Structure 1
Amino acid sequence: MAAEIVPIQLGLTAGNVLTLWAPRWREDGEEWEAFLGHGDHIYVFPDPAHLAAFIRSDAEHDLTDHPEWETAARMLTDELVPDDDHRFDIVGVPDLVAETPDIWTLAEMTDTVAILRSLAEVCDLPAVDEVLDSADGFSVLPLGESAFSGRQGEKLWNGIGAAVVRNWDKVVDAVDSVVTTPSVDAALLETAQAEAAATHAVLEDETEEDVEVAELEEGERDPELAFWDEIGIDCIEVAVDGRTGWTLRCYLDDEPLFLAVGDRIQIFSSDEALEDYVTGTGADHRLSSLEIWPQVRDAIDGGDAVVVAGPENSYQLDGLTEALAAGPAAVPAERLDLAVELLTDAAAARRDTATADALSTATPLGSLVRAITRPDPGRLPPAPPFDDEAEQWQELVARFAASLDWDPPAR
């Protein structure tokens, strides 16, 4: 396994603090794992500038022998800001277990429990392991929503909640007891703070430029999209299996809802065919129960609206499997990002948890997708070959394609 050092954020009693974590790596035939610290303590810092000042000093700590330490010690201040996958709100777990065990809640719980297991092992914190071993649900978190569905799943989730209510203070106290913030050299800190300020100024300029570009693009937006933007339904265009089709989608309470009959998405080989279907007086589908649906039907029937997909709703799945097999450099990141959105939306609409599980960052495919769509310069790029990941992606595309009902007759 590749050796790396990554910045992480821990949510503790004193607030959010930063440190460095070296996930498991193999060296001289043995596996190792470590955090930035020394002796019985983990070193934590209030912000990236303090962390940068410390790692640029000659202070003694446990990561100096790590094979990637020289690279880590040269990290810029902005590179020491943890990404979303490396922010662990340990004190926030009681609020988390009060939520429904959906894909996002379970992913956050899984990551938090995993880092706690690492802290317990590296820092010898038996109290943490004792609490995490007290409920069966903690051990099956990586299985995702499938493990927490039905009566047995509800029992597992409630068991986690009961363990947290009874004993989570012990977990927080144990971690609090091993963290400390060492002093840093004033000159090094001043340099790091100036670096952070300069980076912030550059990012602000880039943000302003992005806003200006977005406003310009919005000004050039196809006027025929205005109806759909206002009403809150998307016309979507999909290219898959050598065919191109059009259908509709909207979101209710952030849940995707497609033009579908049962679990079959109704998709049409031309925009005119979709318009004919929408205006069919007897069409019965998942969108027909919406309060705004008569307005959609009447607008299309009266010529006040037409089926047209904006660039943000145009999905081209063909060719991505071959690109993934060739590696990240061959994959158009924006097209892949949109494809993931479509596959996960369609899967959620038909209650298919396997697709979301396959694309989680806990899988090789999910890690590859994230490396392409959300590249992180502080992480090592995935290593080839990517044949297995491409095959898994194709299975997800095939599952989506099988849910499409092409050119159903108007009723």
Structure 2
Amino acid sequence: MAAEIIPISLGLTAGNGLTLWAPRWREDGEEWEAFLGHGDDLYVFPTPAHLAAFIRSSDEHDLTDHPEWDAVSEAMTDELVPDDDHRFDIVGVPELVAEAPDIWTLAELADTVAILHSLADVCDLPAIDDVLGAADGFSVLSAGETAFSGRRGEKLWDGIGAVVAKRWDEVIEALDGVVKTPDVDPEVLAAAEAEAVAVNAVLPEPDEDDELLVEELAEGERDPELAFWDEIGIDCIEITVGERSGWTLRCYLDDEPVFLSKANRIQIFSSDEKLENYLTDAGADHKLASLAVWPEVRDAIDGGDAVVVAGPENTYVLDGLADALTEGPDAVDRHQLELAVELLTDAAIARKDEETTDALSSATPLASLVSAIIKPDAGRMPPAPPFDDEAQAWSVLVDRFAGTLDWDGEES
């Protein structure tokens, strides 16, 4: 995996503090992980300017031997602002676990627990691992809502809540005991603060490009044939993978994706006409056949009142992305990648494939690269090449998805 150093924010007793995290990397046959600190101390700073001033004027810390340190030490202040995926509100966990275990709550808690395990390992804080090992639910957070559904899932979530209510102060106290904010050179700090003001003055508003894209799409003409599918609540989707293009259907029930599938194998057809013939077959056995609206779909297709057509938001091209990822973020079509991630995630959730959902979570090198491309942030330090491992991990996910497709009614 590519070695990188990431700015992160930790919500602690004294407020939010910024530091640097070097996720696991391999060097000379060994795995390493580190945070900005020295000896028993974990260094945190109140602002990006303070962090910048320290790394520009001091070499007494544990990251000086990291392969990417030279580049990081010259980072601008705006590159030291953590992105949303690397802000960990540790003191806010009690409030978080008071919420329902939906996909967002679980993802945030999973990321927080992952960084806590890393802190416990690097900073030698066994008390943290002890607390996180006191409830079984902490170990299955990455499985998402599936693990916390039903009576067993409710019990797991309640177990997490009980441990947090009783013992979370132990986690906070352990971290507070190692956190330190070193003094920085006043002149270097003043220069970094001036730089931050200058950079912020010229930065575009957040998500400006995304807003423009949405406006452009809204102004464009939409195929009138899509009106039926929009009203019925089912998506016609077009997928290109393995140099083949095909059409299938997907809908969402209680926010869970459901595909035109049998035994967790998606039924996909190499032409819109073949899919239409399949949809009019009253004897076809698939997961969508039990929907209350299905007879309406079948009759509309049969009577020529509806046709198979995929809108741009449901057109997924997986081919070419692995090669582009190898070259790095600038070579990747952001919109194409975002759609591809959506498809792979939906399909994985539908077939309960936790390996894929885990690989696309924010705790993995692949997910970090994907996030940097899909949600570009001027305050995020760019991921460092090479990206061969991430591209290979992406190819594995695509191949796994392609292996679940039944083309034209025949298993692949």
Preserved contact between residue 274 and residue 307 of structure 1 (Cα < 8 Å) = yes
Distance 1:219 1:297, change over 3 A: farther
Of 212-221 and 132-141, more deviation after overlay is shown by 132-141
1:65 aligns with 64
**After the TM superposition, which residues 9-408 of structure 1 pair with which residues of structure 2 at under 5 Å, given as runs?**
9-23=9-23, 33-37=33-37, 41-56=41-56, 58=57, 61-63=60-62, 65-67=64-66, 68-97=68-97, 108-135=108-135, 138=138, 159-181=159-181, 185=186, 187-188=190-191, 190-200=193-203, 202-203=204-205, 207=208, 210-224=210-224, 225-279=226-280, 285-290=286-291, 292-293=293-294, 296-297=297-298, 300=301, 303-318=304-319, 323=323, 328=328, 334-360=335-361, 377-384=381-388, 389=393, 392-393=396-397, 395-401=399-405, 404=406, 406-407=408-409
- Structure 2's unaligned 5+ residue stretches are none
Q: Deviations over 1:101-160 (max 9, x none)?
A: 777666544432332234335545443243234446656767888988999887766554
Deviations along 1:153-203, one digit per CA (max 9) or x if unpaired, are 877665544332321111113223443556664633541331342244x23
Tell whether the 8 Å contact from 1:364 to 1:389 is kept in structure 2 after alignment: no
Letter in 2 for 1:65: T
Q: Structure 1 CA distance, aligned partners of 2:118 and 2:325?
A: 33
Whether the 8 Å contact between 1:50 and 1:192 is mirrored in structure 2 is no
Identity across the alignment (%): 62
CA distance in 2 between partners of 1:368 and 1:197 (Å): 24
| Cα deviation digits, residues 274-322 of structure 1 (max 9, x gap) | 344445566664335545556545655565543211222122345556x
Moved more, 6-15 or 40-49: 40-49
Contact 2:236 2:248 in 1 (8 A): yes
Backbone CA RMSD of aligned residues:
4.3
Taking a change above 3 Å as real, the CA distance of residues 223 and 143 of structure 1, as seen in their structure-2 partners, is closer
Q: In 1, distance between residues paired with 2:29 and 2:407?
A: 54
Distance 1:254 1:235 in 2: 17
Separation in 1, partners of 2:337, 2:301: 31
CA shift in 2, pair 1:313/1:63, >3 Å: same
SS in 1 for 2:287: coil
Bigger relative CO (Cα 8 Å, ≥ 6 apart): 2
Do the aligned residues in 2 keep the contact of 1:346 with 1:400 (CA within 8 Å)? no
Amino acid at match of 2:221: R
Structure 1 residue 213 displacement after superposition:
4.3
CA deviations 1:227-264 (Å, max 9, x no partner) are 43454432111234554322221223321122334534
Q: Helix, strand or coil for the counterpart of 1:287?
A: helix
One-letter code of the match for 2:198?
E
Alpha-carbon distance in structure 1 between the residues aligned to 2:177 and 2:272: 63
TM-score by length of 1: 0.75
Aligned residue identity for 1:188: A
* Equivalent-residue separation in structure 1 for 2:211 and 2:238 (angstroms): 26
- Structure 1 stretches lacking a partner, 5+ long: none
TM-score (norm 2): 0.75
Quick check: 127-136 or 73-82, which moved more?
127-136
Which has the larger displacement, 228-237 or 167-176?
228-237
Output the amino acid matched with 2:190. A
Amino acid at match of 2:268: I
User: Which range moves more in the overlay, 226-235 or 168-177?
Assistant: 226-235
Tell whether the 8 Å contact from 1:324 to 1:386 is kept in structure 2 after alignment: no
Moved more, 347-356 or 274-283: 274-283
